Amino acid sequence: MTIYNYVVEKPNGEPIALSDYQGKVLLIVNTASKCKFTPQFDDLQKVYSDFQQYGFEILGFPCNQFGGQEPGTNEEAVAFCQINYGVKFPIFAKLEVNGHTAHPLFQYLKQEAPFNGFDESNIQSKLLKMIISEKNPEWLVGDAIKWNFTKFLINQSGEVVRRYEPNDEISTLQEDIVKLLKA
């Protein structure tokens, strides 16, 4: 099984098979417009601009499960990303990433790339862990997505290579993208 077995929705509700992205390196990200990590759209767009021509795509999936930080419609989420951050990569319809209503794609991603714990030496990781323990303590257990801007790197065969937590460095992600594009 690969991510190519899944279908997601465009903001207008039209289904799109992830097999349409076959042969590309992908970064799948759960996003939100009103999150402390929202400025990551700048870095993500830069990475997209740098590598798209080499067969790289970012797929953004708005999610409102983390503190209600994506309250608007699908169209509002897309417009926010484009207007405020110049996002050119695809933003899909809102979905859920945790719980019994989690989209099957994110169930698969979590299964293939389990949570590796918080970097306790990083102050942002400690703060994120505190926020989660207050707002959604059930997500501290297991492989649940912990917060917005969790990222999954996918190789050209549709296999999950790595999971990045919201406060992981973009430079690490870039290095991993380059390795896959050269493979």
- Domain ranges for the chain, please list them: 3-182
Predicted local confidence at residue 116, as pLDDT: 83
Q: Is 35 a catalytic residue?
A: yes
Predicted local confidence at residue 141, as pLDDT: 74
Helix (H) or strand (E) holding 50: helix 40-51
Half-sphere exposure of 140 (CA within 13 A, CB side): 13
Q: How confident is the model at residue 133 (pLDDT cuts 50, 70, 90)?
A: confident
- Distance of alpha carbon 141 from alpha carbon 45, whole angstroms: 31
Predicted local confidence at residue 137, as pLDDT: 78
- Distance of alpha carbon 48 from alpha carbon 121, whole angstroms: 29
Query: Which residue in the list 35, 97, 109, 154 is annotated as catalytic?
Result: 35
**Tens digit of pLDDT for each residue in 153-178?**
999 999 999 999 998 888 889 999 99
Helix/strand/coil for 109: helix
Task: Decide: pTM greater than 0.75.
Answer: yes
Average pLDDT over residues 22-29: 98
- Contact at 8 Å (CB) between 143 and 115? yes
- Contact at 8 Å (CB) between 6 and 18? yes
**Which CATH number does the domain 3-182 belong to among 1.10.287.990, 3.40.30.10, 3.30.1180.10, 3.40.50.800?**
3.40.30.10
Predicted local confidence at residue 118, as pLDDT: 74
**Tens digit of pLDDT for each residue in 89-114?**
999 999 999 999 999 999 999 999 99
